[in-house]
Structure 1
């Protein structure tokens, strides 16, 4: 069983793209008029927000969970690849922010000037960013979309960035010019942390890390009548998104039909617990014996 959430993902990404373009324009205009390094860096961060939405639309177009001849396991890893693209954009933004801050320290710059109306515009920007982050995360969790959850994480970092920038500009408004440069560094660190979080969440999917402990699968399978034992259990994917399970199953059956009924019940139990899931079972006769639940570790083989 596979779930196709791409229409919802595209709708959410289009809405957030339009909002992010509006936010980016506001930050760029206010940043240019005030000369604020931290705000211009924040505008650069918003450029990556819009780029991420476009990247998400592209990857969602190709990330169908349905298998075909060339992709028998579906195409959902395209979404994880898109999430890694978001991490790359965040890394670039981090570098640009740090570079701008160091250059301003070394070369100096004109003083930053900010007015109350410009501060109110930034409060509006903050409110829009908070809405985008919670909207994307809620929809991403509802439909199980890694690209929406990753983008929501990115946008949440934008919320903290904008808060830091606002604090700095309020300080500048009160005459503390150095706050604008100083706060550029934590902004960069927040951007970097967001990128690392996205990378850490999506690498297991791409490298086929174990999705479910074999002991948990074994416990469920052993409750099915007719099962003697199961071994060489392997799983990959992400629970709630798409999981693939394979195993060797020893059954108490002397004909194909009886073995088939037992495996159908095993699949039904696993489907109820871990759906959506695709299961591959290799059936073995009652006389076969193996106490090995999962594959041996590297340390045991050595």
Structure 2
């Protein structure tokens, strides 16, 4: 049985949504007052933080681990789809940041006007971002939630964005280097892009049914069960430690159904102990059957 973690996920997402909205408001306020392009770009990044929280709440609502008639394998891919939505938001943010920076380089603009009080507000923003990122990562690792871990990565990128923007504004405030504002907009865009790529990379294996466990590892566990002669055509999908589905053909040393059933149940017990949570489908074959194919070949 897969634990239903949705209530915990929703609680964390609601808390971080409130904090992200506050952070976004502060950045928009300071960015508008100072005329800083890099800070307004950072505020755009924070808008995606809030949108991601809302998306995560929607995805979590539909990501029940329990199977039903229409979704016999459960609903957990909804959560992975939510993480891909986060990657899409990050791609949009990256484009908007680059577009604004290039326009400022071509057309110029008003100089940035920054004061010490506004820099202190940005330090508060930075502190909130750090809290949100570590809070989401801690809970995400504890309950193994991809939507929380993906959002924590996004917020972590926001921390580095805010640090770079803050450093640039300090340079403008203390040294008058106005060019820092536009120049720093480009690494902000790169950080946003990298964050989106890592989220996409981490969730694609679940959606495309990439192998979850090496067939050889499953074969080694199964061959430890008395009465098993061999197993082949082994396939697995899902995410290890979250939910795995295993299929195989099992050759047993039994000529009656009852004995074959007992051996099969022992195999399932061994696999559940080793790879839980796991759902297993086994096709039983008689002793005379032979196959050297542990899993499926790559093919040409």
Normalised to the residue count of structure 1, the TM-score between the two structures is 0.98
Structure 1 residue matching 2:248: 3-state secondary structure: strand
Structure 2 residue matching 1:114: 3-state secondary structure: coil
Aligned-residue offset at 1:275: 1.2
Match for residue 263 of structure 1?
264
Aligned-residue offset at 1:144: 1.3
The CA distance in 1 between the partners of 2:196 and 2:233, in whole Å, is: 36
Aligned-residue offset at 1:298: 1.5
Q: CA RMSD in A?
A: 0.7
Q: Residues 244-302 of structure 1: CA distance to partner in whole angstroms, max 9, x if unpaired?
A: 00000011112222111111111111111211110001111111111110012113xxx
Match for residue 61 of structure 1?
61
The CA distance in 2 between the partners of 1:116 and 1:259, in whole Å, is: 77
- 1:209-228 map, 5 Å: 209-228=210-229
Match for residue 204 of structure 1?
205
Q: Residues 110-140 of structure 1: CA distance to partner in whole angstroms, max 9, x if unpaired?
A: 1101111111111111111111111111111
The CA distance in 2 between the partners of 1:3 and 1:232, in whole Å, is: 29
The CA distance in 2 between the partners of 1:56 and 1:123, in whole Å, is: 27
Report if the CA contact (8 A) 1:2-1:242 is conserved. Answer: yes
Structure 2 residue matching 1:298: 3-state secondary structure: coil
- 1:128-143 map, 5 Å: 128-143=128-143
Aligned-residue offset at 1:64: 0.5
Match for residue 96 of structure 1?
96
The CA distance in 1 between the partners of 2:23 and 2:262, in whole Å, is: 58
Report if the CA contact (8 A) 1:112-1:172 is conserved. Answer: yes
Q: Residues 87-113 of structure 1: CA distance to partner in whole angstroms, max 9, x if unpaired?
A: 000000000100010000100011101
Gaps of 5+ in 2: none
Aligned-residue offset at 1:181: 0.6
The CA distance in 1 between the partners of 2:227 and 2:130, in whole Å, is: 54
Match for residue 155 of structure 2?
155
Aligned-residue offset at 1:20: 0.3
Structure 2 residue matching 1:161: 3-state secondary structure: helix
Consecutive aligned runs of 4 or more in structure 1 exceeding 3 Å deviation: none
Match for residue 84 of structure 1?
84
Match for residue 183 of structure 2?
182
The CA distance in 2 between the partners of 1:129 and 1:268, in whole Å, is: 44
Report if the CA contact (8 A) 1:233-1:245 is conserved. Answer: yes
Report if the CA contact (8 A) 1:3-1:276 is conserved. Answer: no
Q: Residues 231-252 of structure 1: CA distance to partner in whole angstroms, max 9, x if unpaired?
A: 0000000101111000000111
Residue 15 (str. 1) matches residue 15 (str. 2): yes
The CA distance in 2 between the partners of 1:185 and 1:79, in whole Å, is: 31
Match for residue 116 of structure 2?
116
33-42 vs 134-143, which deviates more? 134-143
Normalised to the residue count of structure 2, the TM-score between the two structures is 0.98
The CA distance in 2 between the partners of 1:273 and 1:170, in whole Å, is: 54
Q: Residues 178-202 of structure 1: CA distance to partner in whole angstroms, max 9, x if unpaired?
A: 0011010000000000000000011
The CA distance in 1 between the partners of 2:135 and 2:271, in whole Å, is: 32
Aligned-residue offset at 1:19: 0.5
The CA distance in 1 between the partners of 2:142 and 2:278, in whole Å, is: 17
Aligned-residue offset at 1:37: 0.3
